[in-house]
Structure 1
């Protein structure tokens, strides 16, 4: 019987993306290498728990859920997050940033100063710039000010990020233009907390880091995205790009985007040359509301 592995997610290390596994193992991902796995026959996806603790019920969760948590564990996990505004007494300094994911897709956000650019890599930001740093509540007030005054959201769905990657502008200057303009407008705004130390505009570009710059723009265009794993299903292909939690895999049916958050909670087994057999939504049909097909 083949050994099964349980994925605990993808993280970004200094030298690139790494798949992590329950038990402490990890697999560095290299562009040009092969990524292939299957879901055990008869397998059931179970809740991954919250805050490092296993789910007491080992509850089953949907194969389409990117959180892989039952309702109770999801509530506990969010209750301790900065995003939920439940940690106002956090003494750590925070940074405010503007992140660009593609034409027209800019967001404002905050991240702990000590994390550096890790949060931007995790979100799949193609380029970004810091706006400033200071106490948590000053960073949060600045984020809210930009949302209200400039109309910049604090969240962008991953589906929207994926849809624009194949058409990214060719130069770093073009990719940074939108956040450069917004940074200038943000600096000119009144009402920013005095305890937030401003940062000059300095665009940081991740296109090459993600593997989206090899062909001058977004690299090989993806034909679709995996919508969930299924028992007995499999997927494999050459890794051509990785951005945020997404792996762009060149399969026999074209480049398919796999959100690695869909891998958590399943028992996975290594595979070789099996065809892509998981639910995939084709990008060209998504806007028309066409139902998912099974490649």
Structure 2
């Protein structure tokens, strides 16, 4: 991304055609860059951090925030309050859109352990939603109009077989404990059988034997995450982040710093709304970090008799 005539303002990271793409705008200009493993990046964030503007149903891009509103520098929200009230994605999540005429897919996404998520996504988006969530393994279980798929989603979550949401920290904690590929596939396939049983009679088209898609290798998690890393939990105006990218996990970026220290983990949502400028490679500054270390293996007590 050319940031020498900065600031380009970051619009976040999305998966397009199976590739992670970091976007930015400067006035009427738009720029996109594929976030590839092995690429060296060095960013300085420049404030103020501004609202990204709402996405309106049927439009390919977000509209600029009409209020030019500033948002919390260290917060997770990328929209100001007025834009949140009209954003199509948030309206869908809040059940404020009853039917938009599109076909939706019901999916199961497994993040390891007992973290089985049920959700829905527009059929036209393919697996982009699952890539953006960083789902290690997923399968589609049904399709239909929004009202029917949403009722199916509520039935599954109400059954206790899967939940609608998990926090990012809970998902990341499972990266160290993902089993082998065969066990991952069997876990999701068994969950699908149980979910299809509770969906019997629902007015949706179900997939009894659809593929179980494994994204662990794509996310660079075959051998797990680094045994120790530092997570960026807040950015301030003027902060700098440098490193060589590892494969993105959803919207989360691992970077190996130029000084050879512990890798950094940066959620691209934290870049959204900031101005981005090129910075000389070096240690990160102006950031709040949280240490993460691989927990010790459980102590297994073997019976003598």
2:20 matched to 1:17? yes
Give deviations 1:197-245, integer Å, cap 9, x for gaps.
33424210111111222xxx31433523111211121011111121111
**Are the structure 2 counterparts of residues 123 and 80 from structure 1 closer, same or farther at C-alpha, using a change threshold of 3 Å?**
closer
Structure 1: 5+ residue runs without aligned partners?
Answer: 286-295
Question: In structure 1, what is the equivalent of residue 189 of structure 2?
Answer: 180
Structure 1 counterpart of 2:134, from 124, 136, 148: 124
Number of equivalent positions: 279
RMSD across aligned C-alpha pairs, in angstroms?
Answer: 2.1
Structure 1 counterpart of 2:34, from 22, 28, 31: 28
Structure 1 counterpart of 2:96, from 86, 90, 95: 86
Contact 1:93 1:136 in 2 (8 A): yes
- Whole-angstrom distance in 1 between the partners of 2:68 and 2:141: 42
* Most deviating of 221-230 and 267-276: 221-230
2:52 matched to 1:48? yes
- Whole-angstrom distance in 1 between the partners of 2:73 and 2:49: 7
Alignment of 1:266-281 (within 5 A): 266-277=274-285, 278-281=287-290
Structure 2 counterpart of 1:262, from 260, 270, 284: 270
Contact 1:108 1:143 in 2 (8 A): yes
For residue 182 of structure 1, report the CA deviation from its aligned partner.
1.3
SS in 1 for 2:119: strand
For residue 80 of structure 1, report the CA deviation from its aligned partner.
6.0
For residue 186 of structure 1, report the CA deviation from its aligned partner.
1.2
SS in 2 for 1:65: coil
2:221 matched to 1:218? no
Give deviations 1:125-165, integer Å, cap 9, x for gaps.
01101111111111111111111113411111112212222
Contact 1:79 1:86 in 2 (8 A): no
Question: In structure 1, what is the equivalent of residue 299 of structure 2?
Answer: none
Structure 1 counterpart of 2:45, from 22, 39, 43: 39
- Whole-angstrom distance in 1 between the partners of 2:237 and 2:100: 42
Structure 2 counterpart of 1:283, from 292, 297, 300: 292
Question: In structure 1, what is the equivalent of residue 212 of structure 2?
Answer: 203
SS in 2 for 1:237: strand
Structure 2: 5+ residue runs without aligned partners?
Answer: 56-61, 295-305
Contact 1:222 1:257 in 2 (8 A): no
Question: In structure 2, what is the equivalent of residue 289 of structure 1?
Answer: none
Contact 2:196 2:206 in 1 (8 A): no
2:235 matched to 1:229? yes
For residue 65 of structure 1, report the CA deviation from its aligned partner.
2.1
**Are the structure 2 counterparts of residues 78 and 13 from structure 1 closer, same or farther at C-alpha, using a change threshold of 3 Å?**
closer
For residue 284 of structure 1, report the CA deviation from its aligned partner.
4.6
For residue 248 of structure 1, report the CA deviation from its aligned partner.
0.9
Give deviations 1:87-146, integer Å, cap 9, x for gaps.
222211111110011222110001111111111001110110111111111111111111
Question: In structure 1, what is the equivalent of residue 303 of structure 2?
Answer: none
Contact 1:47 1:61 in 2 (8 A): yes
